[in-house]
Structure 1
Amino acid sequence: MKKILILGVGAQGSTVAQRMDEEENVSEIICADADPAAVDNLVKILKKGKGKLVDASDIDSIKEAAEGVDLIVNGLPLKFGKNVLEAALEVKCDYQDFAATESIHKNWVEGIKIMYDVYGKRFSDIGKTAVIATGSAPGLICVAARHTMKYLDTCDTIYTIVYEGVEAKRFLPFWWSPVTALSDMAGTPIAYENGELIEGEPFSRPIYRKYDYLDKEIRFVEHDHDEPVHMGLNAKEFFKGAKNIYFKYAGAGVAFAEPLYRAGLLSKDTETIDGKEISPFNLVLKHIPPAPKYHDEIKEIIEEGLVSDTGAMVVEATGTKDGKPVRVETHVFAPGLAESFNRAGLTAEMYLTGQGGALFTKMFVEDKYTQKGLISSDMLTFDQVDYYRQCAEELDITMDTKVIDLN
């Protein structure tokens, strides 16, 4: 029986807690946050839940909450990542998070390398497993990328592609944290090109795709995301020697943020305007509504009406199979907003990211990780990928793969 500490009970953490509450091999779920109301609201709907207030800026506070647990699931903001990693090592438990921390090194790419090399050895030395980047993207999409490799002997280029096509009639540009969304929009995109990690320009190098299940051609652009970094660093061992790996993004959030970026309104540098010091980023952020997360709020948005309720998550990989050039496409299908709400009272973003993350937690609970040390979600074995896919299908999250002959 597993005892789990979930740090951060927002959309991701609370979804994982609810899913683990249903698992026979889980004995207790400690729900920890700095917000007592958020903790109480979650614990009261769980059978195995226990609330705890934690100051994540204090490692000792995390260690106290983690005493005796088998696994820490880190759903906190990225700035707390190093503290949670250190606490997990000190109490000697397994570790999971949803995205790479920014607190290990001022350059987050170097931080990922440190996580692999330094923290990987430290977790291995105590016989424990840390799995990072376990949401939907990165996370689920990385599982899809690994699955795609089954159909190739060699790989040259991989595109990981996400289209956030859910759009409400009310002004709601982002379905997740606006500060995270805007920071990513203005961040420097990283691509893996010709075997090297390179920096790009936000919203640059567009590609266009028209998939059968979308009613129009979509323009996808460069975006600051983790997948090319993780997969690029692991290309030789896990991605058939791929030389080029990209993340391409589209949706209402991109359409909203791109002109702001080009106008300089996503800059975090302060400017003097009419005698007042103002950060354009903070000014824009102040006028963006928070992502909906409560049942009645989501219900109201749906009842007001939606402009669209669609999306796409695709992995496209070109390479060879049996000496012939091919392109392999894996399309991920999942419930949209209306269906996610009907099934679980969640938005589509909360459903896909939370459920995607919970499946990685389930793999801890079921002792499916054979690796010791630190791995990212793109480093699963094919057996682990198959188990993940099997569990995802029970949540109506499916993968459809097709091989296209390029001769």
Structure 2
Amino acid sequence: MRIVVLGGAGKMGCIAVQDLAGDGRVDEVVIADYNRENARFVADFIRSSKITVQFADVNDHAGLVQVLRGADACLNATVYYTNLAVMEACLEAGVPYTDLGGLFHTTRKQLALHDRFAERGISAVLGVGSAPGIPNVQARYAADRLDTIEYIRIYDGIKPPAPDDMRFTYAVPTILDEMSLSPVVYREGEFVSVPPLTGFEDYLFAPPLGLLPMHYSLHSEVATLPVTFRDKGVRECFFKINYWGMAKETVEKVKVLADFGFDSAEPLEVKGKPVVPREVMVAMMGRFVPPLEEFLAPPRHQPPDWVKEIVTEVKGTKEGEGVLYRLGTLTVKGALPTGVAPARAAIWLAEGRIPPGVHPPEAVLEPLPFFRELANRDIVTQVTVTTTLR
């Protein structure tokens, strides 16, 4: 089994490479990346004979197709802007595809490729990271056990860093988009845009996380779950997070810069030369990204000293009785599920377990086997069911 990890030298990609290299089902893991130096660092750190390194440029379609040919699956761990281009390359190369998410709008565009993938007999499953990904499968678990669904509410709780910790632990462009783009929620059969950093509520997570302030954020789960389970009558679906895993103080600082226009993609003329404020901001924020070895290092905590819980609450009915499912997936290393989940999805694709076409996770990933895969890496899922005694 040969799996290509595009962006395998990046923050989430390197975790996927590490997980795949340690899986007995995988024969070869290709780190396909533009940054040769980082790719070699990741390979040297993991020290597995399964790992090979290839240069890849997602803007070079022909070159990317060549890298992909002969692979059993492609795991796209690059920033979501590349998703559609990489899928086109996978179509030409005849390679199954998965990624970490498309931030709602891109996911919708990707789903439109379903017929083309199905006609070619190629499989793709979208948005299989920590979130999106795990919440989709959690929702599927509950939906399989309910006759009707009233709501699907997702809460991504992360242990808050210290107020003076200004690190950014995933793709900076995605962070800026999540902070500035309007979240979309599903209410009474309609998708509705709401302002960023609204909808605050305190939500109780498993100890030691406890009570955390949660707010709306744009996410891909909301793009697919109400559609997948429309026949069960879903009336509400949203995604909330606590400051994207950053300190509230850091979010406020970034927001001030955005308010001044530093996240604008419109060029400004500075001393006779065009300068794109957003590119400057991304470059400056990139200085506060942790080094790769921090993503590859063993967890600093051990269960049950959890640092993150991904919760999906699904309320509905079974045989006329009201039922509430709460599924919480816990980890002792916040970034770990974001690399492990797509790695396991890539293996399932390579094994032919996903039907041809382009699918959201909840449509094709069987919950119990998938949760068992995660549990092998100490990413554990707990389920509580609340019913009314009569």
Q: TM-score range by the shorter chain?
A: 0.7 to 0.9
Q: 1:259 to 1:33 in 2, by over 3 A?
A: closer
Instruction: Tell whether 2:250 aligns with 1:253.
Output: no
2:107 equivalent among 104, 112, 119: 112
Per-residue deviation, 1:271: 11
Q: Which moved more, 1:79-88 or 1:56-65?
A: 79-88
Counterpart amino acid of 1:4? Answer: I
Q: Which moved more, 1:170-179 or 1:90-99?
A: 170-179
Number of the residue aligned with 1:344? none
Number of the residue aligned with 1:76? 78
Deviating 4+ runs (over 6 angstroms):
270-278, 296-299
Number of the residue aligned with 2:168? 174
Q: Which moved more, 1:242-251 or 1:252-261?
A: 252-261
CA distance in 2, matches of 1:125, 1:242: 31
5 Å matches for 1:298-317?
A: 310-317=307-314
Structure 1 length as normaliser, TM-score? Answer: 0.82
2:289 equivalent among 279, 291, 302: 291
Q: Which moved more, 1:287-296 or 1:277-286?
A: 277-286
1:331 equivalent among 322, 328, 331: 328
CA distance in 2, matches of 1:284, 1:92: 34
Number of the residue aligned with 1:378? 362
Per-residue deviation, 1:170: 5.4
Q: Which moved more, 1:171-180 or 1:385-394?
A: 171-180
Number of the residue aligned with 2:194? 200
Q: 1:113 to 1:153 in 2, by over 3 A?
A: same
Counterpart amino acid of 1:133? Answer: G
Counterpart amino acid of 2:380? Answer: T
5 Å matches for 1:22-37?
A: 22-37=22-37
Q: 1:163 to 1:126 in 2, by over 3 A?
A: same
Q: 1:140 to 1:265 in 2, by over 3 A?
A: farther
1:33-52: CA deviation from partner (whole Å, max 9, x where unpaired): 11111222233422122211
CA distance in 2, matches of 1:129, 1:278: 38
1:293-327: CA deviation from partner (whole Å, max 9, x where unpaired): 4336998x979xxxx97333111111112212222
Q: 1:151 to 1:266 in 2, by over 3 A?
A: farther
Uncovered stretches (5+) of structure 2, i.e. residues with no partner: none
SS at match of 1:61: helix
Structure 2 length as normaliser, TM-score? Answer: 0.85
Q: 1:395 to 1:113 in 2, by over 3 A?
A: same
1:137 equivalent among 116, 131, 139: 131
Number of the residue aligned with 1:124? 118
CA contact (8 A) 2:69 2:94 kept: no
Q: Which moved more, 1:289-298 or 1:121-130?
A: 289-298
Q: Which moved more, 1:164-173 or 1:219-228?
A: 164-173
CA contact (8 A) 2:207 2:306 kept: no
5 Å matches for 1:8-407?
A: 8-9=7-8, 10-44=10-44, 45-100=47-102, 109=105, 111-117=106-112, 119-168=113-162, 171-214=165-208, 216-236=210-230, 240-251=232-243, 253=246, 255=248, 256-258=250-252, 260-261=254-255, 264-265=259-260, 268-269=263-264, 279=277, 282-283=280-281, 286=284, 289-295=287-293, 310-335=307-332, 348-369=333-354, 371-380=355-364, 384-405=366-387
CA contact (8 A) 1:58 1:83 kept: no
Counterpart amino acid of 1:196? Answer: E
Per-residue deviation, 1:82: 2.1
CA distance in 2, matches of 1:124, 1:198: 31
Q: 1:114 to 1:297 in 2, by over 3 A?
A: closer
CA distance in 1, matches of 2:385, 2:320: 14
Q: Which moved more, 1:80-89 or 1:143-152?
A: 143-152
Over aligned residue pairs, what C-alpha RMSD do you find? Answer: 3.2
CA distance in 1, matches of 2:40, 2:99: 22
Per-residue deviation, 1:168: 4.7
Counterpart amino acid of 1:203? Answer: L
Uncovered stretches (5+) of structure 1, i.e. residues with no partner: 102-107, 336-347
Number of the residue aligned with 1:4? 3
Identity of aligned residues (%): 20
Q: 1:294 to 1:212 in 2, by over 3 A?
A: closer
1:60-86: CA deviation from partner (whole Å, max 9, x where unpaired): 010111122221111122222222111
CA distance in 2, matches of 1:185, 1:271: 21
SS at match of 2:90: helix
Per-residue deviation, 1:30: 2.1
